[in-house]
Amino acid sequence: MQTIVLDDHGRAWDARSPTLRSFLHCSLPDFDFLAYLIENLGFVAITKIAPDAARIRFRPETASPTSIAAALYFLADMGIERTIISCPDRFVEKLLPSLPQTIAYIAEQVTASHQQYSSVFTSREQPLEILANADEALSSLFAQWIDSKQVYDSAALADALPESLRARFFIVEPVDGRLTIADVGSGFEIYGETWRKNARGLPLEEQPDYDYGRWVKGIYLRVQETRLPRLDEVDATIRRPDRNDSLRCHYRRLILPFTYKGNGGACLLGASVFDVREQQSTLDSRVIEKYLA
């Protein structure tokens, strides 16, 4: 049976399509590609199992609203009524006898997951004026952004960021309609050195804690759309699957929109300063200091 996946732009793909694998740079033959699409990228998978029935697979925590909407239109166009809904990490599948009930159930699951999601990550936007009267690294960076007339100068930033912010920064740029990591500072060690060294070229949301990455992407997208700098006070509990633990982090983050000199392309620079260090794991406080220092 053919499985169709709906991506975060609403496009339909055959799940076995080599073109899709190539597009997403996932060419490994032993890689569970479909699970990756559903669990990490927020795609929705549809497998027609009878003339009027289909199995839907999606993860409510990460499913893209665009993917969900496209999947529902796809079901309607196929004349599907009965559905079986499967979600990762849930042992029981849900059988629904009509498309309206399917729509209502999916909406309910997404809403419930987002309520839980919002309690884990909170962001309070701060007035930029407080940087003008503060003697801290983010104030210096903001002043440099103003002096640069928003033109990205990698040499000037390379001199300023490692010392003033201990190299905790991201450079993000739009590539093929997605925000992509162009550079990561050496001080960003919460996920470890291996991830950091391989992060360049990944979509911004492709972090070990995908939920956190997707949440962060939403804030960067707003800065990209408005082209206005943004200062936030953030409280987030970040999962580290490779260590089977979580860290609760409280930090202040500044995101600045830049334009590349020469080609006029856009990029965003996000830099953070930790205010409070807490942990929700069995890690010793000295270990926390190592990753957040």
| pLDDT, tens digit (0-9, with 9 covering 90-100), for 148-165 | 889 988 777 766 665 666
Range of the structural domain that residue 142 is part of: 127-292
The per-residue pLDDT for range 218-229, each reduced to its tens digit, is 899 999 999 999
* pTM of the shown model: 0.61
- Structure-token pair, residue 214: 């997707």
- Asked if residue 97 and residue 35 are part of one domain, the reply reads yes
- Asked if residue 142 and residue 258 are part of one domain, the reply reads yes
> What are the b/e assignments for 127-155, b being 16+ CB within 10 Å?
eeeebeeeeebbbbbbebbeebeeebeee
Q: Where among 120, 136, 151 does a domain terminate?
A: 120
- Asked if residue 85 and residue 200 are part of one domain, the reply reads no
- Asked if residue 265 and residue 216 are part of one domain, the reply reads yes
- Asked if residue 277 and residue 134 are part of one domain, the reply reads yes
d(CA 54, CA 57): 10
The per-residue pLDDT for range 191-222, each reduced to its tens digit, is 888 888 889 999 998 888 888 888 899 899 99
- Asked if residue 155 and residue 266 are part of one domain, the reply reads yes
- Asked if residue 267 and residue 152 are part of one domain, the reply reads yes
- Asked if residue 277 and residue 149 are part of one domain, the reply reads yes
Alpha helices, H only, the chain: 18-23, 33-39, 65-78, 99-120, 129-132, 137-147, 154-164, 193-197, 210-226, 285-292
CATH number where 148 lies: 3.30.450.20
Q: Where among 98, 120, 142 does a domain terminate?
A: 120
The answer to whether residues 52 and 83 touch, using CB atoms and an 8 Å cutoff, is no
The per-residue pLDDT for range 36-90, each reduced to its tens digit, is 888 878 899 999 999 999 999 998 877 888 899 999 999 999 999 999 999 887 7
272 exposure class (CB count in 10 Å sphere: 0-12, 13-18, 19+): buried
232 exposure class (CB count in 10 Å sphere: 0-12, 13-18, 19+): middle
The number of distinct structural domains making up the chain is: 2
d(CA 130, CA 156): 24
- Residues 29, 30, 35, 37, CA torsion sign: negative
- Asked if residue 145 and residue 275 are part of one domain, the reply reads yes
- Asked if residue 238 and residue 193 are part of one domain, the reply reads yes
- Asked if residue 195 and residue 114 are part of one domain, the reply reads no
- Structure-token pair, residue 8: 């975060």
